[in-house]
Amino acid sequence: MSENIIEIKGASISINEIKVLENFNFEMKKGEFVYIIGETGSGKSTFLRCLYCSQKFLEGTAKVDNFNLNNINKPKIQELRRNLGIIFQDFKLLEDRNIHENLKFILKSIGWKNNNEIDERIRDTLMKVGLEEKAKKIPYELSGGEQQRASIARAIVNNPSLIIADEPTGNLDPKKSIEIVNLLKKININGSSVIIATHDYDIIKSQSGTIYECCNKKLKKIENLSQ
């Protein structure tokens, strides 16, 4: 078993035959907290989408959580995604049901059957994100920050080995943004590796973590943040 949760070598990514990133390497250790930064349109979201096979790498080799993404088939993609927690900028909560039911949907889809166990896991998870009072609320009855925390709850309810978050603070004020990052840090300390795409330089400056930047079609580790 590898010590790296993500290992990418000599990879390129294209959309409609236009290269978004080319010939890059990327490594992330188990338990690491990684930021992906870069200008709008530089490829952050595209890169994250490749990690959960919603987009293909064109060249090179890629491994995520010991799954080889080169030639991965549909059942294996489903298996990989069961080990991931994905947080989207626009939340993607199911709007026709409450937060409890949103989380239950995830557990059912990965094979949980016992309702008592499901309820207990959902209670624990909502407690972790501070939404224990909001289980019965429909997403539109929650504020932006609460919806963001609900989307984090949905991502962590299956105890993922890797959390992939695209702009998790994109819609929040600075104070709420720090709260969300602190929450992700806590989840990271409890064992999940976390990778975040963000524009939020204030957060990166004030929080620890490894930083990679998408720039000029490259993805590079940066040691010192100049901005």
Ligand X SMILES: Nc1ncnc2c1ncn2[C@@H]1O[C@H](COP(=O)(O)OP(=O)(O)OP(=O)(O)O)[C@@H](O)[C@H]1O
Binding residues vs Mg ion (CB under 5 A): 44-45
Query: Which pair of structure tokens corresponds to residue 48?
Result: 């994250």
Specify whether the CB–CB gap between 33 and 190 falls below 8 A: no
Residue closer to Mg ion, measured from CB, 86 or 99: 86
Query: Which residue in 16, 73, 224, 227 binds ligand X (CB under 6 A)?
Result: 16
Q: Which stretch binds ligand X (CB under 6 A): 14-22, 137-145, 149-157, 179-187?
A: 14-22
Residue 145 one-letter amino acid = G
The Cα–Cα gap between 223 and 227 comes to 12
Q: Which stretch binds ligand X (CB under 6 A): 15-23, 90-98, 143-151, 184-192?
A: 15-23
The Cα–Cα gap between 109 and 87 comes to 17
Residue closer to Mg ion, measured from CB, 90 or 132: 90
The Cα–Cα gap between 45 and 91 comes to 14
Nearest distance, CB of residue 15 and ligand X, angstroms? 4
Nearest distance, CB of residue 71 and Mg ion, angstroms? 27
Residue 193 contacts which entry, ligand X, Mg ion, none (Cβ below 5-8 A, type-dependent): none
Q: Based on DSSP, count helices (H) and strands (E) in the chain, helices before strands.
A: 7, 10
Residue 71 has what DSSP assignment?
T
Residue closer to ligand X, measured from CB, 14 or 207: 14
Residue of 210, 219, 183 whose CA lies nearest to 26: 219
Tell me the CA end-to-end span of the chain in Å, nearest whole number. 38
Crossing angle of the two packed helices 144-156 and 174-189, in degrees rounded to 10: 10
Beta bridge partners of 165: 87, 196
Which x/- pattern, by CB under 6 A, does the window 207-226 give for ligand X?
A: -------x------------
Is residue 42 near ligand X by the rule CB under 6 A?
yes
The Cα–Cα gap between 16 and 86 comes to 24
Beta bridge partners of 19: 14
Residue 43 contacts which entry, ligand X, Mg ion, none (Cβ below 5-8 A, type-dependent): ligand X
Residue 38 contacts which entry, Mg ion, ligand X, none (Cβ below 5-8 A, type-dependent): ligand X
Is residue 198 near ligand X by the rule CB under 6 A?
no
Q: Which of residues 77-106 bind ligand X (CB under 6 A)?
A: none
Number of residues that bind ligand X (CB under 6 A): 13
Residue closer to Mg ion, measured from CB, 44 or 100: 44
Which residue ranges make up the site for ligand X (CB under 6 A)?
Answer: 15-16, 20, 38, 40-46, 199, 214
